[in-house]
Amino acid sequence: MPHRVKGVVARAKGAPVSIETVVVPDPGPGEALVQVQACGVCHTDLHYREGGINDDFPFLLGHEAAGVVEAVGDGVTDVAPGDYVILNWRAVCGQCRSCRRGRPWYCFNTHNAKQRMTLEDGTELSPALGIGAFIEKTLVAAGQCTKVNPETPPTVGGLLGCGVMAGLGAAMNTGNVQRGDSVAVIGCGGVGNAAVAGAILAGATTVIGVDVDDRKLAWARDFGATHVVNSRGTDAVEAIRELTGGFGADVVIDAVGRPETYEQAFYARDLAGTVVLVGVPTPDMRIDLPLIDVFGRGGSLESSWYGDCLPSRDFPVLIDLYLQGRLDLDRFVSETIALDQVEAAFDKMHSGEVLRSVVVL
């Protein structure tokens, strides 16, 4: 019997989201039905609503979620009803050319539930990042469910499902920050501040937060940034160079994803340093750099998909660090809200009032 539950849907480009009745099928082979307990509001949800990801409207938004498995389909052995899980949007296949080379975090063939959730009139919904979790129950591929210690409050567990993992991983996995490194993070929203936290956890000794909003910079300080720069009035590249002995940082993380911030990241790193792009650009954006500088500055220009995380490896470890008091995830939760407050949360995100609004179901 399909389930009829309330979910947050973006029907058309730029239009406010609405609460709709969604029909959720029972799990088929390889699928799991998850009772969502909490789901964070991520900038990527807003990108979807604005048509910045693709045009497959209507979208079922929400993708930073934790909850409890209610039912599983045939052939599912890794999770069972009653398991407490964080949902991930990169269920690795184990078969593709990247998985076979031992690099499953790049899996080129990640998968989602095969059956579609629909509106009552049968219109198929596109779930954000293959999840769709601003809803009481969602249908995902079983591989999208990662079991973690159930002592974790769902409000913080869910955050690891996307933005916070992306930021932590941008520093710890993609940027491979080492003890004693200098790191600059451009854009100190949920993702950027997670990158600040990840850089600290990895042993960086100089961590510079850059943003155009002083509130975000104050939060960056709370997460352990040793220096902050408001780039509205100050040249970010010069400021980062000044704070790193005139050289630039070993690793610069762009957690905004715009041509101007990428260019700042490119020039604010030391010779042979690393740039990590974790902010998501829109399809119209272009970058123009002198090729001689790409060559002459050396190092590596990396993109970070989901913090290059392997959910089965990284989620349980990060949750253990949280439960031991070594990774402050509670600090990311600015407010908890109800399902019908997602649109208001987008406004607060836009005006910079929150790091994360988390929908509690």
Ligand X SMILES: NC(=O)c1ccc[n+]([C@@H]2O[C@H](COP(=O)([O-])OP(=O)(O)OC[C@H]3O[C@@H](n4cnc5c(N)ncnc54)[C@H](O)[C@@H]3O)[C@@H](O)[C@H]2O)c1
Q: Where along the sequence are the contacts to Zn ion (CB under 5 A)?
A: 42, 44, 93, 96, 99, 107, 109, 162-163
Nearest to 131 by CA among 20, 257, 206, 40: 40
CB of 317 to Zn ion, least distance (A): 20
CB of 252 to ligand X, least distance (A): 12
H or E stretch including 273?
A: strand 269-277
Hey, which residues between 14 and 43 contact ligand X (CB under 6 A)? 42-43
Exactly one of 37, 173, 244, 261 binds ligand X (CB under 6 A); that residue is 261
Q: Which is nearer to ligand X, 153 or 352 (CB)?
A: 352
The interface partner of residue 99, options being Zn ion, ligand X, none and the CB cut-off 5 to 8 Å by kind, is Zn ion
CA dihedral 91, 188, 38, 308 (to 10 degrees): 10
- Which sign does the torsion angle of CA 51, 52, 56, 60 carry? negative
Q: Quick check: 327 binds ligand X (CB under 6 A)?
A: no
CB of 45 to ligand X, least distance (A): 9
CB of 335 to Zn ion, least distance (A): 17
Per-residue binding letters, 173-202, with ligand X (x by CB under 6 A): -------------xxxxxxx----------
CB of 244 to Zn ion, least distance (A): 30
* Helix, strand and coil in the chain, % to nearest 5: 30, 30, 40
Binding part of the chain for ligand X, among 54-62, 272-280, 286-294, 335-343 by CB under 6 A, reads: 272-280
Nearest to 290 by CA among 263, 268, 270, 265: 263
CB of 148 to ligand X, least distance (A): 19
- Which sign does the torsion angle of CA 328, 86, 177, 297 carry? negative
Per-residue binding letters, 297-326, with ligand X (x by CB under 6 A): -------xxx--------------------
Hey, which residues between 43 and 72 contact ligand X (CB under 6 A)? 43-44, 47
H or E stretch including 67?
A: strand 64-72
DSSP tag of 329: -
Q: Do residues 314 and 136 lie in contact, with contact meaning Cβ atoms separated by under 8 Å?
A: no
DSSP tag of 170: I
201 phi/psi in degrees, rounded to 5: -60, -35
Query: What residue ranges bind ligand X (CB under 6 A)?
Result: 42-44, 47, 162-163, 166, 186-192, 210-213, 216, 231, 255-258, 260-261, 278-280, 304-306, 349, 352
